Structure 1
Amino acid sequence: MNHSDRLPRNRTYLMCSPDHFTVEYAINPWMDTTAPVDATLAFRQWEMLRTTLADLGHTVHVLNGVPGLPDMVYAANGAFSVDGKVYGARFKFPQRAAEADAHQLFYASGEWSFASPGHVNEGEGDFAYLPEAYGGMVLAGYGFRTDPAAHAEAQEVLGRPVISLKLVDPAFYHLDTALAALDDRHIAYYPDAFSPASQRVLAQLFPDAVIADRHDAEAFGLNLVSDGRHVVLNTEAVAMGDKVRAAGYLPVHVELTELKRGGGSVKCAVAELRPGVLKAGEALGA
Structure 2
Amino acid sequence: MCPPRHFAVEYAINPWMDPSKPVDAGRAMAQWAELRDTYRRLGHTVEEIAPQPGLPDMVFAANSGTVIDGRVLGARFRAAERAAEAEHFRRWFVEHGYRDVTMPSRINEAEGDFAWTGRLLLAGTGFRTDPAAHAEAQEVLGVPVLSLRLVEPRYYHLDTALFVLSEATESAPAQIAYYPEAFSAGSRRVLARLFADAVPADAADAECFGLNGVSDGRNVVLPLEATALASRLADRGYEPVLVDISELRKAGGGPKCCTLEIRK
The alignment's C-alpha RMSD in Å is 0.6
Asked whether the 8 Å contact 1:125–1:174 carries over to 2, the reply is yes
User: Is 1:270 equivalent to 2:259 in the alignment?
Assistant: yes
1:117 and 2:104 are equivalent in the alignment: yes
Tell me if 1:201 matches 2:190: yes
Pair 1:227-2:216 in alignment:
yes
What residue number does 1:12 align with? none
Query: 1:196: Cα distance to partner?
Result: 0.2
5+ residue gaps, structure 2:
168-173
Whether the aligned pair in 2 keeps the contact of 1:232 and 1:266 (CA below 8 Å) is yes
Aligned pair 1:248/2:210, yes or no?
no
Separation in 1, partners of 2:28, 2:225: 16
TM-score of the superposed pair, with normalisation by structure 1: 0.89
Query: Which residue, 28, 31, 48 being the options, matches 1:62?
Result: 48
Q: Distance in 1 between matches of 2:183 and 2:97?
A: 36
Counting matched residue pairs gives: 257
1:29 maps to 15
Q: Select which of 52, 58, 72 maps to 1:72.
A: 58
Alignment of 1:114-263 (within 5 A): 114-131=101-118, 136-184=119-167, 185-263=174-252
> In structure 2, what is the Cα distance between the partners aligned to 1:49 and 1:178?
20
Q: Which amino acid aligns with 1:137?
A: L
> d(CA) in 1 for partners of 2:222 and 2:242?
5
**1:172 aligned counterpart, secondary structure:** coil
Q: 1:106 aligns with which of 77, 81, 92?
A: 92
For the residues of structure 2 that align with 1:232 and 1:221, how far apart are their CA atoms? 9
Unaligned runs of 5+ in 1: 1-14, 276-286
Is contact 1:84-1:111 (8 Å) kept? no
For residue 129 of structure 2, what is the amino acid of its counterpart? T
Which residue number corresponds to residue 171 of structure 2?
Answer: none
Q: Is the 8 A contact 1:126 1:174 kept in 2?
A: yes
The list of structure 1 runs, each at least 4 consecutive aligned residues, that deviate by more than 6 angstroms after superposition, is: none
TM-score by length of 2: 0.96
Alignment match of 1:96 (pick from 82, 101, 105): 82
Alpha-carbon separation, structure 2, partners of 1:262 and 1:110: 29
| Aligned-partner residue type, residue 224 of structure 1 | G
